[in-house]
Amino acid sequence: MIIPPAAMPAVIANCFFTSLAFVIVCCRINTRLFVIKNIGADDGLIAMSMLASIAFLAVFMLQVKAGLGRQITFPEVPGFLQALWATIPIYNLALILCKLSITVQCYRVLRTPKMQKFLRGYFILLVVYGLLTVIGNIFICWPIEAYWMAILGVQGTCLSKGGVTFSNAGINIATDIILIVVPIPLLWRLQIPQKQKIILMCLFGMGTFACITSIIRLQSLYMIAIAPEAEQSVKGVSIAIWSSIEINVGIICASIPALKPLAVKLFPRMLLSNLYARTKGAAYYAGRSGGKGGNRSHSGTGGSRHMAGGSGQTSGMRSGNNRTTEVIQIKQSFEMTSVPATAVDDAGRNVAAVDIEDGKTSRDGSEKNLVGSSWQDEYYKKVTISSRPREIV
């Protein structure tokens, strides 16, 4: 197959972004299956979206073969329009599956009742909109072949192609904006380290790029809508580029957060440097206080003072002109223990782990639902500090 020079940018963009998204989705599935051993519905949805993206690439190559990027002759128009008709429902299917995957992933992370209720309603809205969009674009003409055979005189009834295309694009942009704007305030209120909050919001913010590509794609849609059918093969190069970018960037943004366990496993010291530093530091100071504390005494003309570093006791007595002051001794000790993330307290309740970064705790455990598995048990040792009751000596 000879690729026209005008279509080469579209071929490169489609192949590159589809391949990149495929590699990232494979890493995501591998992480869920073999690292955290917990695969969910969002992973299945993103895998189906990736398959739809690959199908979009295949149909796009049929478009190139049918004449995309060059002037086509009259007999070639039906074949090109048939390939164009096939790309539209596949494009919409890939986008809807990707958004459904992101919605399920948000449902796993954002556990507040209001957000859960919103996400359930949003999921139903996407399902209904997706079915109408995909089925509506398949049967935009009846009989179906009237879409590409009308130029040869085949009679049929068709909806307004421009109206259907622009309404779908408008709703698509609106759903993108909702999915970007709504979770940001809730992510900011999550009881997780500040650095993780910023990273999560940046990842959700990456979805704005997909939204921007949808807006840019509107210009290409307008150009192809006003062009005669014989010229749509030339005007369609731009829309093919932006459609592929929109699909695959959405898939990539949806999959990156799920790769954190794999990154932790491959680069534990780099990603957990604060954890290592603090746990080693705690052990060092515990050793100094327990083994090197020793006894130290200080004396002076006004009185004496005695310290026992190992026991944590302080005693002393000061005497002066017919005045004696007795010092009350307080015995107190602290114990640092390492417990799993699923530990329970004496009352049988789950113990909220102290966060390593800034000491914050999560009331609902939402930060663990970012990957929804026990991978944290392997790489994080939660530290709790318990204080024994004070006693007066």
Q: Name the pTM for this structure.
A: 0.69
Query: How confident is the model at residue 178, as a pLDDT?
Result: 85
Q: Is 222 exposed, middle or buried (0-12, 13-18, 19+ CB in 10 A)?
A: middle
If you average pLDDT over residues 250-279, what whole number do you get? 72
> Residue 347 contacts by C-beta under 8 Å, 6 or more apart in sequence?
none
Beta strand 324-326 with 382-387 is unpaired
Measured between alpha carbons, how far is 213 from 35 in angstroms, rounded to an integer? Answer: 33
Q: What is the mean pLDDT of the chain?
A: 74
Cis amide bond preceding 268, omega within 30: no
Is pLDDT of 372 > 60? no
| Averaged pLDDT, 334-355 | 49
pLDDT grade for 161, boundaries at 50, 70 and 90: confident
CB atoms within 10 A of CB 196: 17
Judge whether residue 350 has pLDDT over 70.
no
Q: Pick the more confident residue, 351 or 23.
A: 23
pLDDT for 121-156, tens place per residue? Answer: 999 999 999 999 999 999 999 999 999 998 888 888
What band does 311 get if pLDDT is binned at 50, 70 and 90? very low
Instruction: Give the percent of the chain with pLDDT over 70.
Output: 65
pLDDT in tens, 195-242: 767 766 766 666 677 788 888 888 888 877 777 766 778 888 999 999
d(CA 22, CA 25): 5
Residue 121 is predicted with a pLDDT of 94
The Cα–Cα gap between 353 and 361 comes to: 6
More confidently predicted of 191 and 163? 163
Instruction: Supply the pLDDT for residue 83.
Output: 93
pLDDT at 220: 81
Beta bridge partners of 338: 383
Flag whether pLDDT at 167 surpasses 80: yes
What are the chain's domains?
5-266 (1.20.1070), 269-290+303-392 (no CATH)
Q: Which helix (H) or strand (E) holds 307?
A: strand 303-308
Secondary structure of residue 52 in the 3-state scheme? helix
